[in-house]
Chain A
Amino acid sequence: MQWETVIGLEIHAQLATKSKIFSGASTAYGAEPNTQACAVDLGLPGVLPVLNGEAVRMAVKFGLAIGAEIAPRSVFARKNYFYPDLPKGYQISQYELPVVGRGHVDIDLEDGSTKEIGVTRAHLEEDAGKSLHEDFHGMTGIDLNRAGTPLLEIVSEPDMRSAAEAVAYARKIHALVRYLEICDGNMQEGSFRCDANVSVRPRGQEAFGTRAELKNLNSFRFLERAINLEVERQIDIIESGGEVVQETRLYDADRNETRSMRTKEEANDYRYFPDPDLLPLEIGHAFIGEVMKELPELPDAKRLRFEKDYALNHRDALALTASRELADYYEAAVTASGDEPRLTANWVTGELAAALNRDALDISASPVCADMLGGLIKRIADQTISGKIAKQVFEAMWRGEGDADAIIEAKGLKQITDSGAIEKIVEEIVAANPAQVEQYRSGKEKIFGFFVGQVMKATKGKANPQQVNELLKKRLSS
């Protein structure tokens, strides 16, 4: 039987506010346990939550970026459940009236096509604390610093049909929240978390199969792996005559498996009701207009502009706009290069990307800044150095030996473009290799490369390759 995979994602993005969603406690990451958990976060009696305006602004920003309707009136609700990382016994969330309604994003697929993925809704809620299960002589330790950190929960439609599409969607949302500067996107620290609802159905069937919810997917790689594992697991169950159970499954990266987390039948009975502590949130046209003006250029628009203004192909433009930092780097490098957009694109997606990848560095931590790379490209463009020598200069810049001009000067890498000088070397090489000259002249043209190599060797790679080609051809055919 042919199976079709159906995936929907719930993404929790921690909003990059300074203070919590309902209290004035700090949201800074990595503080000593419970030093940033105030009376409101602890759910002490008599406290009143007051909504952080910046969290609302960020949610609206996201809504506008995905073309969604911003609810003129939305309501906060209590989601009731008991767990020690949630001291109040309920999480303040939004249920029937979320702040962001239906929107959509386009994802880019491997084959170069795009696909529209629906976003059902996005709502504001508070994060819970952290439970530490080890080392407390049979007890569980609770750190409530994270409790009350604002979250935007972004719920997709079940529009994705493969793990690769799910990853493309998650990456797109990740890029968006970073472009909008509403979330730092750090998956290791849990600032950007994905849960995946996965089911399978026979191809052609309209009704969805029973889904499992996958949690603990703290990298895009794990997201992809966990979905593929889960799809296999479900198909195996059905094909051997069993039934998939609706449940939450935890991905274990060390063992590369998913396992059941809880099957309590009442787990989903959250008994939502409007929170009497909070009044309805009203968002007017003026506020929306204000936020609209703050929207930066978004990834899709930036990609189109790169394709048009810099004459880049789709693939390069897509790669260069993957993050705002990378796009900014590229544009700064183009300026510094004296307007060499294509060459700069090749260097940023080639040499630079490879070096960052090799040293596991983010673009913001690149030892070669945009100005330095642009300066190097400028010297390739004006033929001071060849592309091959440029790689040497790049490595030297990466090691911190200075900027391109300083390195070219110090190492004497300047290209030889004096045709008299090159001609002299050509003459010497030809004279020293009569056998090869004979072969070339008798029609073995492949041997031409040997001569080029010899000239380059003699000039330590500094001779202008085009001139070498021309002068050699001329000399050998005379």
Chain B
Amino acid sequence: MSLDRADVEKIAHLARLEVEPDDMAAIAAELSNILELVEQMNAVDTEGVAPMAHPLHMVQRLRADEVTETNRREAFQAIAPQTEAGLYLVPKVIE
């Protein structure tokens, strides 16, 4: 499977990445190469092999349900670009 320019534009938009028009062709080629690798792996017979979700042979540890965090709003909001009335302000978004 190979990607064309339109595919790259869509992926970049979804990931909110800005891509220079001049770089499009090169990126399309590189991503296509990665997909080719995936295709090779797809071709391998994996009958009877359990799917792997994580490279470590460990399982998730569970936390006790306890409140351990205190209010540190002031510290967090000191590094935010804009705040008001305890809220983080962002450019207007309307659904």
Whether chain B is bound by chain A comes out as yes
Give, as a whole number of angstroms, the nearest-CB distance from B7 to chain A: 12
Would you call B21 an interface residue if the criterion is a C-beta within 8 Å of the partner chain's C-beta atoms? no
Chain B residue contacts of A132, Cβ below 8 A:
87
Give, as a whole number of angstroms, the nearest-CB distance from B63 to chain A: 5
Do B69 and A26 touch across chains, with their CB atoms under 8 A apart? yes
Would you call A25 an interface residue if the criterion is a C-beta within 8 Å of the partner chain's C-beta atoms? yes
Interchain CA distance A133-B53 in the complex, whole Å? 39
Main secondary structure of the interface of B (DSSP, over half): loop
Chain B 58-95 interface 0/1 with A at a Cβ cutoff of 8 Å (1 = within):
11111111111101110011000010111111111111
Do A141 and B89 touch across chains, with their CB atoms under 8 A apart? yes
Do B71 and A36 touch across chains, with their CB atoms under 8 A apart? yes
B window 43-60: CB within 8 A of A: 53-54, 56, 58-60
Which among B13, B86, B93 is the interface contact of A33 at CB below 8 angstroms? Answer: B86
Chain B residue contacts of A141, Cβ below 8 A:
84-85, 87-89
Do A140 and B69 touch across chains, with their CB atoms under 8 A apart? no
Chain B residue contacts of A389, Cβ below 8 A:
none
Q: Most chain-A Cβ atoms within 10 A of its Cβ — which of B61, B67, B86, B95?
A: B67
Which among A34, A54, A139, A271 is the interface contact of B90 at CB below 8 angstroms? Answer: A139
Given contacts A19-B67, A23-B69, A136-B84, contact A131 B93 (CB under 8 A): yes
Which among B60, B62, B64, B92 is the interface contact of A139 at CB below 8 angstroms? Answer: B92
Given contacts A82-B16, A140-B90, A278-B60, contact A18 B10 (CB under 8 A): no
Chain A residue contacts of B54, Cβ below 8 A:
274, 276, 278-280
Do A53 and B95 touch across chains, with their CB atoms under 8 A apart? no
A-B contact count (CB 8 A): 130
Do B68 and A19 touch across chains, with their CB atoms under 8 A apart? yes
Binds B, one of A37-45, A293-301, A399-407: A37-45
Chain B residue contacts of A97, Cβ below 8 A:
53
Do B59 and A280 touch across chains, with their CB atoms under 8 A apart? yes
Would you call A50 an interface residue if the criterion is a C-beta within 8 Å of the partner chain's C-beta atoms? yes
Given contacts A18-B66, A34-B73, A133-B92, contact A271 B87 (CB under 8 A): no
Chain B residue contacts of A36, Cβ below 8 A:
69, 71
Which among A26, A32, A51, A140 is the interface contact of B86 at CB below 8 angstroms? Answer: A32
Interchain CA distance A281-B64 in the complex, whole Å? 15
Would you call B14 an interface residue if the criterion is a C-beta within 8 Å of the partner chain's C-beta atoms? yes
Instruction: Give the total of B residues in contact with A, Cβ under 8 Å.
Output: 38
Give, as a whole number of angstroms, the nearest-CB distance from A125 to chain B: 15
Given contacts A138-B92, A261-B95, A280-B53, contact A35 B71 (CB under 8 A): yes
Would you call A24 an interface residue if the criterion is a C-beta within 8 Å of the partner chain's C-beta atoms? yes
Do A279 and B59 touch across chains, with their CB atoms under 8 A apart? yes
Do B93 and A84 touch across chains, with their CB atoms under 8 A apart? yes
Do A38 and B69 touch across chains, with their CB atoms under 8 A apart? yes
Interchain CA distance A34-B58 in the complex, whole Å? 34
Do A142 and B90 touch across chains, with their CB atoms under 8 A apart? yes
Give, as a whole number of angstroms, the nearest-CB distance from A442 to chain B: 79
Given contacts A24-B69, A266-B14, A274-B53, contact A139 B89 (CB under 8 A): yes
Do B76 and A39 touch across chains, with their CB atoms under 8 A apart? yes
Do B65 and A17 touch across chains, with their CB atoms under 8 A apart? yes
Contacts from B to A (Cβ < 8 Å): 10, 13-16, 53-54, 56, 58-69, 71-73, 76-77, 82, 84-95
Given A19-B65, A142-B87; 15 other pairs, CB 8 A cutoff = A19-B69, A25-B69, A32-B73, A52-B62, A56-B62, A80-B14, A133-B93, A133-B94, A139-B84, A140-B92, A141-B84, A142-B89, A266-B14, A271-B14, A276-B54
